[in-house]
Amino acid sequence: MLKIATWNIERLRHKNELPSIVASCEQANADIFILTETDSRLNLKYKSCFSALPEATPNYYAATETRVSIYTNYDFVRRYTTFDEHTAISVELETDIGSLLVYGTVIGIYGNRHKNYMNDLLCQIADIKSLAAESKRLCICGDYNCSFSDNYYFTKAGRTALEEAFSKYKLELLTRNQSECIDHIVVSRELIDDSLVEITEWNLDKKLSDHKGIAVEII
């Protein structure tokens, strides 16, 4: 069994709700938890936390902010270089089901209409290509700024590029059918085989963040 969760906490804009945000994360009870647009004031009780580099524009971001953090109780094996260490991080973990490369990311920190979105996306696909050459067991998780089941928030070019990458590198978008969902969990098909996959969501009213939290359990 393996449970993976991700949540964009909107740069902790609802900091007065920090106890509720922490409680929601703890209730997810994930083996691997990827937080995006996160903040060091939100400190989860895991053995290890791997974070992106501090923000490159400190006049805009608070000193406590970081774009991506990966929390886990699994043993750390190594860290891989990504195209932008402020935006995407990758670590290899030794899990109950074997070695797993976890890539935590935000694709397009200014949204999918910004001119840099496609360049950011293509650079991250290049990262995925490199990781796929290292291992057949990948988890690509975080804020994709792209919905797949509806017209909630996406660009045709972005969605097409991602779909093609998933197919090429034998990845399964486990959160494909979730409505109003731009935060996703993608894993190598080898990881799921005939396994049962259960999906849970929280913060559906979006009072703690403007994103829903989402978790996938592979049983």
Domain count for the chain, please give it: 1
- Report the distance separating Cα 27 and Cα 136, nearest Å: 30
The number of C-alpha atoms within 13 Å of 185 and in the hemisphere containing its C-beta is 28
The pTM score is 0.96
The three state secondary structure string of 168-201 is HCCEEECCCCCCCCCEEEEEEHHHHCCCCEEEEE
Q: Which domain holds residue 156?
A: 2-218
Contact (Cβ atoms closer than 8 angstroms) between residue 128 and residue 169? yes
Contact (Cβ atoms closer than 8 angstroms) between residue 181 and residue 215? no
- Report the distance separating Cα 96 and Cα 24, nearest Å: 24
CATH number at residue 152: 3.60.10.10
Does position 69 have pLDDT exceeding 90, yes or no? Answer: yes
Place of tokens 């909107």: 10
Does position 54 have pLDDT exceeding 80, yes or no? Answer: yes
For residue range 129-153, list pLDDT tens digits in order. Answer: 999 999 989 999 999 999 999 999 9
Rg of the chain on CA atoms, in Å? 16
Give residue 58's pLDDT.
65
Give residue 197's pLDDT.
96
